[in-house]
Amino acid sequence: MLFEDRSRAESFGNVAQLYDRARPTYPPELVEWLLSDGARRVLDVGCGTGIAGALFAARGCEVTGVEVDARMAAVAQTKGLDIEVASFERWDDRGRRFELAISAQAWHWIEPRAGAAKAAAVLSGGGRIACFWNLGDPPAALLERLDPVYDRLGPKAASLTVALGNSTHRGEDAASAFDASGLFEPAQTRRFAWSRTYTTEEWLALITTHSDHQALGEQRLQTLREAVRAEIDAIGGSFEYPYETVLVTATRA
């Protein structure tokens, strides 16, 4: 299970500032939908550098973030967010209760059963957990160029990287864990489509923040980056990347 790979789970702090600049935001429609029932006390699980938490704070929510990596938490704190450094499963909630718990691009690093139980324990009656991920696929013309670049790293390497659309966390595991816990009403899934344009430099910054790329080591990652740079420059130095933000939400029973 991915959550068991702690070297990857806790690798993002190595590039915390870059992560905050390069990682995409989340669609306003998702935030609007999650706050439509009036939730104001928000817990951000695995808050990272506060990219999602800041969106909710800007809407007037009181946001408390829990982040296992102190380097990531330090960046989130510069945004005025209240961040506590701990793993979510072992975090001391001190009796506090929240109307909404969110986890942006992070729930797959949480142990499913313990995470579901902890979320239910810190949610007030009628509160809900909302886990969401930005998923996407490069345009076909670029993918054709990048596949062989990645495959030079090893057989079928292109089929293993999240950056090329091969995500293994599309919400099904989270939904199953919430349903199996018996602590929530049946989980629901919603999808929000959007897109953004990446320049060569923006894309190189983004892939550098991915844990599967960090695991390559500095030398191999730099070699990969230069090869990817050449391929994006060859198609004009930018491209449109379609995203789908997948939201899994469940209300505390």
Distance CA 173, CA 195 (A): 25
Average pLDDT over residues 205-213: 91
For residue 97, name the pLDDT band (cuts at 50, 70, 90).
very high
What average pLDDT does this structure show over 241-253?
Answer: 96
Residue type, 55: L
Contact in structure between 193 and 242 (CB atoms under 8 Å): yes
pLDDT value of residue 132: 97
pLDDT of residue 119: 98
pLDDT for residue 28: 98
Model pLDDT, residue 214: 85
Which residue in the block uniquely carries the two structure tokens 């790329």? 213
Average pLDDT of span 103-125 = 96
DSSP code, position 90: G
Separation CA 237–CA 134 (nearest Å) = 23
- pLDDT of residue 1 exceeding 80, the answer is no
Sheet holding 41-45, edge to edge: 82-85, 62-67, 41-45, 98-104, 123-136, 238-251, 188-199
Cα separation, 243 vs 44, in Å, equals: 22
pLDDT of 246 > 70? The answer is yes
| Residues 216, 169 contacting (CB under 8 angstroms) | no
What pLDDT digit, counting tens, does each position of 157-174 carry?
Answer: 666 677 887 776 668 899
Vertex 73 angle, CA 212 and 98, to 5°: 105
% residues pLDDT > 70 (the chain): 91
Q: Are 104 and 171 in contact (CB under 8 A)?
A: no
3-state secondary structure string, 191-216?
Answer: EEEEEEEEEHHHHHHHHHCCHHHHCC
Q: What is the structure's pLDDT at 126?
A: 95
Binned at pLDDT 50, 70 and 90, residue 211 comes out as confident
DSSP letter at 10?
Answer: T
| CATH superfamily of this structure's domain 2-137+165-195+243-251 | Vaccinia Virus protein VP39 (3.40.50.150)
Structural domain boundaries of the chain? 2-137+165-195+243-251
At 230, list the tokens.
Answer: 């050449």
Given a cut of 70, whether residue 8 has pLDDT beyond it is no
Mean pLDDT of the chain: 92
